[in-house]
């Protein structure tokens, strides 16, 4: 009995499983790039802090917001990565037939706190109360 074809098949199967296990979905890889590009969030004042919608809901619009600082750059690379990530999320949603509640995630803005840009907290108004802003 010749074991060489069986061993070749086993080796090829192992290589394929290893490659599949280590491959990241495009959205995960892009998210890691976004985090790396947005690692310097230092600020001197709130005018250097900005919010940016990330992800993509199935009905449209961002899933959430991140804060970024313009102190050390204009954010062009970050914005490009966020656009790529949103496009990948839209592709995933379409491919998987995802649905959404179609709720709107409003932009909370960002501010400088303790020398770091952070997303402002969202205030949730009870139904029927007017916004006093």
Q: Which residue has the higher pLDDT, 130 or 54?
A: 54
Using 50, 70 and 90 to split pLDDT, how confident is the model at 104? confident
Q: Which pLDDT score, from 0 to 100, does residue 4 have?
A: 61
Average pLDDT over every residue of 50-58: 94
Q: So what's the pLDDT on residue 130?
A: 52
| Four-point Cα dihedral 61, 63, 68, 73, nearest 10 | -50
Round to whole Å and give the CA distance between 49 and 67. 7
Residue 105 has pLDDT above 80, yes or no: yes
More confident of the two residues 24 and 106: 106
* pTM score: 0.72
Q: Which of 59, 67, 58 is nearest to 108 (CA)?
A: 67
Confidence of residue 26 (pLDDT cuts 50, 70, 90): confident
Cα–Cα distance, 41 to 118 (Å, whole number): 8
pLDDT at 51 over 70: yes
Average pLDDT, the chain: 83
Percent of the chain exceeding pLDDT 70 equals 74
Q: What is the mean pLDDT of residues 127-132?
A: 52
């Amino acid at each position: 009995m010749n074991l060489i074809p069986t061993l070749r098949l086993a080796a090829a199967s192992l290589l394929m499983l290893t490659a599949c296990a280590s491959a990241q979905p495009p959205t995960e890889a892009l998210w890691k790039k976004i985090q790396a590009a947005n690692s310097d969030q230092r600020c001197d004042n709130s005018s250097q802090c900005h919010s940016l919608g990330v992800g993509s809901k199935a009905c449209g619009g961002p899933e959430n917001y991140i804060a970024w600082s313009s102190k050390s750059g204009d954010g062009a690379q970050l914005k490009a990565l966020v656009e790529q990530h949103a496009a990948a999320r839209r592709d995933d949603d379409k491919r998987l037939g995802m649905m959404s509640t179609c709720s709107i995630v409003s932009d909370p803005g960002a501010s400088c706190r303790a020398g770091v840009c952070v997303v402002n907290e969202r205030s949730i108004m009870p139904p029927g109360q007017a916004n006093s802003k």
